[in-house]
Amino acid sequence: MSVVDEFKPLTEPDSETRQVLGPGGNRVRVSETERPNKKVLMKKKTINTTTTMMMMKNQQTRMLVNRLERNSNGSMNSSCCSDTSSNGSSVKIKNSRRKMVDSGVKSSGKVVLDEEVDDGQSQLLPPERPIVVKRCDWITPNSDPLYASFHDEEWGVPVHDDNKLFELLILSEALAELSWPAILHQRDVFRKLFDNFDPTSVAKFTEKKILALKASSKSMLSEPKLRAVVENAKQTLKVQQEFGSFNNYCWSFVNHKTIKNGHRYARQVPVKTPKAEVMSKDLMRRGFRCVGPTVVYSFMQVAGIVNDHLVTCFRYQECDSSVKRDTEVKIGETELAKALVATCISPV
């Protein structure tokens, strides 16, 4: 072989073309014809995502509609024995729920479950808040409910019935041995033992009757208290003959007008007052028993002769009509002044 035959011409191409490396390193440069179009890829990806979401929404919507149909069928089957009006109302409610679900899916694309669909009533009604009533400080959340009701309904209300006044006097005398909650729980028992607190009937109690009451475990009063009740009933009848009624006698010590103390704090409420001492002395002079100044003042409080509700208590004005009228007059004057100012007329 010659030397000329061993060398190939420079212009002759190789049988295998090698890849051309670019300036960035060993990364292969892809030709423009083989490079994918980004816009086409994004469009295809968006179409695929939208299709998937629509399929999921359609599937969820079908599941939800099937559930509503099963619920409506179950409610219709269970209410076959009820009236036609109730069936129609249940169907309307289910239809309204289905419309709300369909509209929610179309507008926002969010599937609302059956438990989340509301009839609209819960959104219209405001949340209920407990009503807090301000009472006297000695009535606390832990107080006996019967005692709280007694405070709200009876204590401090002016009483003018003779039998009722006699009852409150006897209950006030029992405070020396019992508390108000204990007395109130035994109030019905006391009414049966003392013939509904009728002074005419109690005044006729004999010694045998008194001993029977003493032996009874229901009385809860000692023998001196029981004898005092009978004696006070006799003296009450004498007072009725002299003053016309026991009511006139009791209210004569305050000139037939309720005393309004207007205390703000419980520590300001007294145990006895000069008025109570005067009434106590007069009662003892007439032959009443167990009627000390403290007992008499408790009687004046519960009978409404004295209004010792705190001014912050809601019962303060309710137990005194004159206070309520004064408040209404002040409110009326204020509104009148505002009306005159609004009309550019100066009040006199």
- The larger pLDDT score, comparing residue 17 to residue 169, is at 169
What digits encode the pLDDT tens for the residues 78-102?
444 444 444 444 445 445 555 544 5
Q: How confident is the model over 29-84, as pLDDT tens digits?
A: 444 444 555 555 565 555 566 666 677 766 777 777 677 767 655 554 544 444 44
Residues 6+ apart with CB under 8 A from 19: 28
Percentage of the chain surpassing pLDDT 90? 44
Cα-Cα-Cα-Cα torsion 194, 197, 200, 205, nearest 10 degrees, comes to 10
Q: How confident is the model at residue 123 (pLDDT cuts 50, 70, 90)?
A: low
Give the pLDDT confidence of 201-236 residue by residue, as tens digits: 999 999 999 999 888 767 788 889 999 999 999 999
The stretch 110-115 carries a mean pLDDT of 43
pLDDT band per the 50, 70, 90 thresholds, residue 271: very high
Q: Across 4-8, 105-109, 111-115, 287-291, which has the greatest mean pLDDT? A: 287-291
Looking up tokens 């005398």, which residue turns up? 173
**How many C-beta neighbours within 10 Å does residue 163 have?**
15
**Topology, domain 145-332:** Endonuclease III; domain 1 (1.10.340)
Determine which of 35-39, 53-57, 138-142, 318-322 has the lowest per-residue pLDDT on average: 35-39
pLDDT band for position 146 (cuts 50, 70, 90): very high
Most confident of 3-17, 59-73, 172-186, 309-323: 172-186
d(CA 242, CA 214): 32
- CB pairs under 8 A, 24+ apart, for 338-343? none
Which pLDDT score is estimated for 218?
72
What is the per-residue pLDDT for 151? 92
The two three-digit tokens of residue 105, written as one number: 């899916």
Residue type present at position 290: C
pLDDT of the residue at 132:
67
Q: So where are the chain's domains?
A: 39-124, 145-332
Over range 161-182, report the average pLDDT. 94
pLDDT of residue 227: 93
Answer yes or no: is pLDDT of 198 > 50: yes
The verdict on whether residue 256 carries a ligand-binding annotation is no
Which region, left, alpha or beta, applies to residue 322 given φ > 0 means left and ψ of -120 to 50 means alpha? alpha
Which residues, including other chains, have CB under 8 Å from residue 291's CB and lie 6 or more apart? Answer: 169, 173, 232, 280, 283, 284
Express as a percent the part of the chain with pLDDT over 70: 56
Find the range with the poorest average confidence among 17-21, 182-186, 226-230: 17-21
Q: Which residue has the higher pLDDT, 162 or 63?
A: 162
- 136 marked as binding residue: yes
Q: What residue ranges in 151-205 does DSSP mark as E strands? A: none
